[in-house]
Amino acid sequence: MAEEKKEIGTGFITEVDRYLFNNGKHYEIYEKLGAHPRTYNKEEGMYFAVWAPHAKQIGVVGDFNGWNPDENPMTCLADSGIWEAFVPGLSTGALYKYAITTESGKLLFKADPYAFEAEYRPQTASVTADLSGYEWNDTSWMAKRKKADPMDGPVSIYEVHLGSWRKKNRDEKDGYYTYVEAAHELSDYVEQMGYTHVELLGIAEHPYDGSWGYQVTGYFAPTSRYGTAKEFMYFVDYMHQKGIGVILDWVPAHFPKDAHGLSDFDGKPCYEYSDPRKGEHPDWGTKVFDYSKYEVDNFLIANALYWVEKFHVDGLRVDAVASMLYLDYGRSDGEWVPNKHGRNENLEAIEFFKHLNSIIKDRGNGAMVIAEESTAWPKVTDDPKNDGLGFTFKWNMGWMHDFLEYMKLDPYFRKYNHHKMTFGLTYFTSEKYILVLSHDEVVHLKCSMIEKMPGLLEDKFSNLKVGYTFMLGHPGKKLLFMGQDFGQFHEWDEKTALDWYLADEPLGKDLKDYVRDLLHLYKEYPALYERDYDWEGFSWINANDSEQSIFSFVRYSKDKKDSLLFVLNFTPVERKNYRAGVPKKGSYHLVLNESHGLYQPEDKAPAVPSEEKEWDGKNYSIACPLKPYGVAVYRFKG
C-alpha cells in the first residue's frame, strides 16, 4: 500500500505542479505546499506537503498526535523532493511541525516554511489555517491601483513598527495592538497627517523581537504578535478603505539559524548555499538563500506574490539588496567565492531580481517593489530588458547620508558644506528614488532625528522644519519613520512605545502640525510629485548661496499651471532684505512658511508681485524676507 501511494500520491499535487515548482515557475505553490483543509477519500481533514529533498523520512507531528513522528508519516512524491500526508479529522487551529529524519539518522523538528500562521513567540510551532472566505471591501482601491502609475503620483510613506508605535496598558501579549485595533488607530493618524502609505517593519513571523522582523522563520505567516492571518487581511482592507496604501518590508536576502527554521532544513543545506563562503553572512550570523536553486527562487517569488495577491499589499520594500548583489558583501579576502567571470557580482541573485520584478509587473496588479540598495549599482529601477533589475523605486541612501551630515552641522559650518545639499540634484534622474529618513537612522547610538539637530531646544525644532521642507521640495518620493514627525527625543526602541505625550507639547505639536501641512501641500500640488524623475520638473534659482546657506529652486508641474518656488534659510540669521530671482513676470502667492504653516484659501495668503530687477540670473525677482531658519514656498502660474 505504501509503495502504491508513493507512485500515485493523493493527487492534490499533480505532475504539472511538481514540474513547475522544480523549474521555479509555480507562482501559486503556497496553495499546494504547506497545510490546507481538504477532503480525501470522502473524509475531511488537513493535507500537508513540504519540500525536503534530502530527508530520509518525515512525519507530521502536533498537538493532535502527541508529537509522535510515527503517527502520521509522509510519503515522498517521486523525483520532486516533495513529501505529503493527509490527516483525517484535523481542522484549523492545530499546532504542528515536521519531524524530519535526516540521511544521517538525526531527528529534526521543523516549522512549516509555507505555514499561514505560527504559534505566539517564544513557542515555535506552525498553526493550521484556512485563508479562504475573507470578504474584501477594497474593490475600488484595487481597481485604481491597477491603473495608476506611482511614478507620477504622490507617495509619502509613514514607516511603522506596529509593536512599538503604540502600546496598550495591559499585560496580555506584551501590550501589543492587534491588527484590527492598529488598523483603526493608525489609519486615523495617517489620514490626519496626510501620508499616502504606511510601510510596516517585520510582519512575516520572526522569533526575536530585536531583529525587528528582519530574521524571518515564517515567510507566509503574518506574525502572531498582533493576531491571525485574516486579521491582517482586515488591516490591509481597512487601510485601503481609508485611502491608505500598505507596503511591507520583505527579506529575501537571508534567514536565521534558529533550529525550527529554514537552516539545514532537511539535515543538509536546502534553502541556503552549501558553501559557507556563499551561504553565510559572517557579520549577521545568518544564512543566505541559494538563488541557483529553482525551488528556492520559487519559494521567494511565490511569497512575494502571496503578500501582493492574497493580502492585497501595495508594495514590497526589499531589504538588504546590496548584500544579495555582491558576493563579497561583509566578507574579507578568502571568505567569498568569485563568480565565473572572476568578479564579485552574484549572477544568480541578479537573475532572481529580474525574474521577480518581471513577474510582479507582468501580473498587472500595480504593486510596487522597492530596493533598499546602498551602493551605486547601476540600473536598479531600469527594465530587465535594458539589463536593469526592474525595481519600481530605489531608496536614495546617498541623499539621506548627505542630508543628515549637513543637518547635524552647526549652522556656521554649513556654508563650507553647501554641496552636500546640492549634490543629490546632479543625479536625481538616474534612478526612480525615494528620499528616506528611516528607522536605521535613529538607532544604535545614531540619536533620534531631533537630537541630531544642532542648537538649543527651539533651534532643533526649527532645523527640522526647514530640513523637512527641503526634503519635500527635492525630487523623489518621501519616507519618514514614526516619531520623526513630532520630535521623538529617545532613539527608537522596539520594546517601548513612542513618547506620544511629546506630540501634545508646544514644540512637538507645532512640528507635527507643520509636517501635516507639508504632507497636505505635497498632495495638493502635482508639481511636487508628477515630474520627480524629469529634468524639466526641477530648476535651481540659486544653488550657490553658500555664504548665507540659502537654497532657492522651482518645482514645475506638467501643465505649468501651478508651479512652486522654494526659498529656504538654513541659519539662525534673519535675512530681512533677501531677494530671489523668479522664472517669469507675475504674482507669487505665499502658500507656506515656517510660522504659519500651510495657508488655506480663507487665510488670504500674501501675494508678492515680481519686479523687473535682475537677480540670480533671472530678469525678474521678488523681495523675500526670511526669518531665522525661515521657509517661504510660493505658488505661481507657469
Catalytic residues: 319, 372
Q: Is 441 helix (H, G, I), strand (E, B) or coil?
A: helix
Would you tell me how many other CB atoms lie within 10 Å of the CB of residue 636? 24
Cα of 314 vs its chain's centroid, Å: 10
Q: For residue 614, what are the β-bridge partners?
A: none
Q: How many separate helices (H) and strands (E) can be counted in the chain? A: 16, 31
H-run or E-run covering 393: strand 393-395
Angstrom CA distances, 611 to 212, 378, 554, 568, 576, stand at 55, 45, 18, 20, 17
For residue 395, which amino acid is it?
A: W
Grid coordinates representing 48 are 500537508
How do 197-200 and 156-160 pair as beta strands? Answer: parallel
For residue 25, which amino acid is it?
A: K
d(C-alpha 450, C-alpha 508), whole Å: 10
**516, 188 contact by CB (below 8 A):** no
The sign of the dihedral angle between the CA atoms of 605, 606, 609, 613 is: negative
**235, 180 contact by CB (below 8 A):** yes
Q: For residue 620, what are the β-bridge partners?
A: 582
- Tell which residue, 480, 567, 473, has the closest CA to residue 529: 473
Place of cell 503556497: 30
